[in-house]
């Protein structure tokens, strides 16, 4: 099996044995109301965002995946344990010793929704023209991809100019390696191809209808290769911008599911007590968000490590977990969340909540309280992506004022936040957020390394530059051996928590609210963005 942690054996689990083992796991706690899966029914899901491009081979984004990954399939998906890869369009993977050649065996007999045969040419085209050139994240992971050889219809050999660690590739394949039909895209304007909306894939559901501002409808693919799948007749995503209305629709039985925190925390608490609904906090283990507090090193005060440590001591993550997240979160211990089964380590320097220690450190750093009880002023810019990060901003402001830092809040919307933090560096502190993506090299290290051009989202635009950190990250990026990579990234976590260029504050899943009629759900660490082929609705 392809283990993200240990890549010595590359035999992918057969689909049947994997299904059997995960089915056993999933059934264990549910035996009480075990039922035979029912076919039929349309699942109604809340969606809060719409996109200009719904093609997951171009836009790697969970909001896109929520819809598109039912239609368009990846080479592999992540298994229920969060470590193994489950074969989807690929059935096997053999990397070469030098890490430059990765050979994939593809599933035979698969048909596109328009009736044409799926083959290695589609994989080669998707990889070279879309993932490598157009896709966010893909442009980084596949930047050294030189060619994809297709000796026959079920073999695709990826050739890289520079070695790429199999471990990194494995983590990238589940979200990024989404295959679209070559015959639909070749020779067209890829960004404006109509199939970016009227999706054509190989998945259990096919595109039905999209009415902007209203709904996105998917219908069963009767010719799906997966035996007995899908169980649902269709899925309707209703575009509902108001969270209060989503909560009411769930309560009234007009929706069966809201994912990715589509319901406000207060409503969630109330809905969870209803007999018809359940609040689901699992099934997001591989989609964790980490709330972070970033320091702008342009401020001389914040260049002082003692000040940064003092701020860490002044904050109380447990209080945020209890009040803002109602317990459905954990204080973060480092840049890699505890839900990561491979890289995370908790043997890291910590900064427990201790306002007195914070004050002592600030005094030591030479910032004594003035006549008004304040030492210096800081401007906090909270990320507008989630209501939680805004509230953390308010909480930070209170905590900092208690230790004599005159903190103020500057609220912005999405574009304003982005311009202020990643382009114009017009902030002192953020109440930010970042998504961890299974391998620290995908979205974590970019928060710590230096030299990223201005304007790159979710990167280090704070002026933190440490030769030691940069050296370590370079060494880790070049390392092909899985175990040595893990060791290097553990050292990275230590250095990150010693230097403290940003404070990982709370790690949180984005919770779902689901009807109790919904079955076969949240049984995968990336469930919301998987195919939902085995999901069904009880009568």
Question: Is 198 an interacting residue with respect to other proteins (CB under 8 A)?
Answer: no
Cα(first)–Cα(last) distance of the chain, in Å? 37
Residue from 81, 251, 278, 387 touching other proteins (CB under 8 A): that is 251
- What is the rounded CA–CA span in Å between residue 231 and residue 534? 6
Is 241 a binding residue for other proteins by CB under 8 A? The answer is yes
Rule CB under 8 A: say whether 423 interacts with other proteins. yes
Minimum CB separation of residue 415 from other proteins in Å reads: 3
Pick from 4, 12, 59, 486 the residue near other proteins by CB under 8 A. 59
Minimum gap (Å) between residue 441 Cβ and other proteins? 12
Those residues whose C-beta lies under 8 Å from the C-beta of residue 358, and which sit 6 or more positions away, are 310, 311, 312, 313, 314, 403
Determine contact, residues 6/482, Cβ cutoff 8 Å. yes
3-class secondary structure, 278:
strand
Give residues with Cβ within 8 angstroms of 94, minimum separation 6.
10, 102, 103
Question: 473 with 267: CB under 8 angstroms?
Answer: no
Near other proteins by CB under 8 A: residue from 40, 108, 366, 457: 457
**Number of shown-chain residues binding other proteins (CB under 8 A):** 63
φ, ψ for residue 518, nearest 5 deg: -75, 130
Choose the binding region for other proteins from 113-121, 223-231, 409-417, 512-520 (rule: CB under 8 A).
409-417
Please choose, out of 59-67, 71-79, 498-506, 521-529, the segment that lies near other proteins by the rule CB under 8 A.
Answer: 59-67
> How many Å separate Cα 368 from the centre of its chain?
42
192 binds other proteins (CB under 8 A): yes
Which of 215, 297, 353, 376: binder of other proteins (CB under 8 A)? 215
Any contact of residue 36 with other proteins (CB under 8 A)?
no
Q: Does 420 bind other proteins (CB under 8 A)?
A: yes
Name 413's Cβ contacts closer than 8 Å, sequence gap at least 6: 384
1 interacts with other proteins by CB under 8 A? no
Give the span between the Cα atoms of 32 and 14, in whole angstroms.
Answer: 29
Among 177, 184, 236, 292, which residue sits at the site for other proteins (rule: CB under 8 A)?
236
Q: Are strands 42-47 and 257-258 parallel, antiparallel or unpaired?
A: parallel
Alpha carbon distance 370, 397 (integer Å): 18
CA atoms within a 13 Å half-sphere pointing along the CA-CB vector of 157: 8
Per the listing, tokens 């620290």 go with 440
What φ, ψ does residue 95 adopt, rounded to 5°?
A: -85, 150
Task: Tell me how far, at minimum, the Cβ of 253 lies from other proteins, in Å.
Answer: 8
Question: Where in 504-533 is the site for other proteins (CB under 8 A)?
Answer: none
The residue among 383, 442, 418 whose CA lies nearest residue 139 is: 442
Q: How far is the CB of 437 from other proteins (least distance, A)?
A: 8
Angle 217-222-225 (CA atoms, 0-180°, nearest 5)? 115
Q: Check residue 481 for interaction with other proteins (CB under 8 A).
A: no
User: Minimum Å distance from CB 409 to other proteins?
Assistant: 15
Contact 301, 362 (CB under 8 A): no
From the list 1-9, 243-251, 461-469, 476-484, the region that binds other proteins by CB under 8 A is 243-251
Which residues inside 126-165 make contact with other proteins, applying CB under 8 A? Answer: 134-140
Cis peptide before 230 (omega within 30 of 0): yes
Among the residue ranges 155-163, 246-254, 501-509, 511-519, the one whose residues contact other proteins (CB under 8 A): 246-254
Q: Which of 29, 187, 300, 453 binds other proteins (CB under 8 A)?
A: 453
Number of H-type helices and E-type strands within the chain: 17, 21
Query: Would you give the binding string for other proteins spanning residues 382-401, x where CB under 8 A is met?
Result: ---x----------------
3 CB contacts (<8 Å, ≥6 apart)? 9, 83, 84
Instruction: Report the C-alpha gap between 464 and 450 in whole angstroms.
Output: 7
- Per CB under 8 A, the segment of 31-39, 50-58, 332-340, 497-505 that binds other proteins is 50-58
> By CB under 8 A, what part of segment 326-355 binds other proteins?
none
Q: How far is the CB of 416 from other proteins (least distance, A)?
A: 4
Q: How far is the CB of 368 from other proteins (least distance, A)?
A: 35
Q: Closest distance between other proteins and the C-beta of residue 277, in Å?
A: 12
Interaction of residue 419 with other proteins, rule CB under 8 A: yes
Binding residues for other proteins, rule: CB under 8 A, are: 42, 44, 49-53, 59-63, 134-140, 191-192, 196, 211-215, 217, 236, 238-242, 244-245, 248-249, 251-252, 254, 385, 412-420, 423, 434-435, 442-443, 452-458
């Amino acid at each position: 099996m392809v283990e993200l942690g240990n890549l010595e054996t590359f035999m992918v689990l057969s689909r049947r044995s994997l299904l059997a083992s995960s089915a056993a796991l999933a059934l264990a706690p549910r035996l009480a109301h075990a039922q035979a899966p029912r076919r039929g029914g349309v699942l109604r899901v809340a969606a809060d965002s719409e996109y200009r491009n719904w093609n997951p081979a171009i836009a790697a984004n969970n909001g896109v995946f929520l819809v598109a990954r039912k239609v368009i399939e990846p080479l592999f998906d992540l298994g229920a344990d969060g470590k193994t890869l489950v074969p989807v369009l690929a059935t096997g993977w053999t990397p070469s010793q030098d890490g430059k050649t990765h050979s994939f065996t593809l599933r035979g007999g698969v048909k596109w929704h328009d009736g044409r045969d799926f083959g290695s040419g589609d994989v080669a085209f998707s990889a070279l023209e879309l993932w490598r050139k157009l896709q966010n994240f893909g442009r980084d992971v596949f930047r050294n991809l030189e060619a994809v050889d297709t000796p026959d219809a079920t073999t695709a050999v990826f050739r890289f100019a520079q070695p790429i660690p199999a471990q990194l590739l494995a983590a990238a394949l589940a979200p990024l390696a989404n295959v679209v039909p070559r015959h639909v895209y070749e020779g067209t304007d890829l960004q404006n191809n109509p199939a970016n909306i009227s999706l054509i894939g190989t998945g259990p559901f096919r595109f039905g209808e999209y009415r902007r501002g209203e709904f996105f409808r998917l219908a069963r693919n009767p010719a799906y290769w997966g035996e007995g799948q899908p169980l649902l007749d269709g899925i309707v995503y209703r575009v509902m911008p108001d969270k209060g209305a989503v909560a009411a629709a769930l309560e009234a039985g007009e929706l069966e599911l809201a994912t990715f925190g589509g319901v406000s925390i207060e409503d969630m608490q109330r809905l969870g007590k209803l007999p018809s609904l359940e609040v689901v906090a699992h099934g997001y283990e591989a989609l964790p968000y980490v709330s972070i507090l970033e320091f702008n090193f342009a401020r001389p005060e914040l260049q002082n490590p003692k000040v940064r440590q003092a701020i860490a001591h002044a904050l109380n993550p447990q209080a945020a977990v209890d009040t803002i997240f109602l317990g459905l979160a954990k204080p973060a211990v480092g840049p890699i969340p505890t839900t990561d089964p491979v890289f995370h380590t908790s043997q890291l320097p910590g900064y427990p909540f201790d306002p007195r220690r914070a004050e002592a450190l600030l005094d030591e750093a030479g910032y004594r309280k003035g006549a008004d009880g304040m030492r210096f002023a800081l401007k906090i810019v909270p990320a507008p992506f989630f209501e939680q990060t805004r509230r953390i901003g308010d909480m930070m402001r209170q905590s900092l004022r208690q230790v004599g830092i005159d903190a103020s809040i500057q609220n912005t919307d999405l574009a304003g936040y982005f311009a202020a933090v990643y382009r114009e560096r017009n902030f002192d502190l953020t109440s930010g957020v970042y998504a961890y993506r299974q391998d620290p090299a995908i979205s974590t290290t970019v928060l710590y390394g230096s030299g990223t051009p201005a304007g790159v989202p979710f990167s280090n635009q704070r002026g933190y530059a440490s030769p030691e950190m940069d050296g370590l990250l370079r060494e880790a990026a070049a390392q092909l051996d899985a175990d040595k990579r893990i060791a290097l990234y553990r050292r990275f976590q230590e250095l990150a928590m010693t230097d403290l260029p940003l404070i990982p504050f709370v790690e949180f899943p984005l919770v779902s609210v689901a009807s109790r009629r919904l079955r076969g759900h949240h049984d995968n660490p990336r469930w919301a963005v998987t195919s939902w082929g085995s999901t069904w609705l009880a009568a």
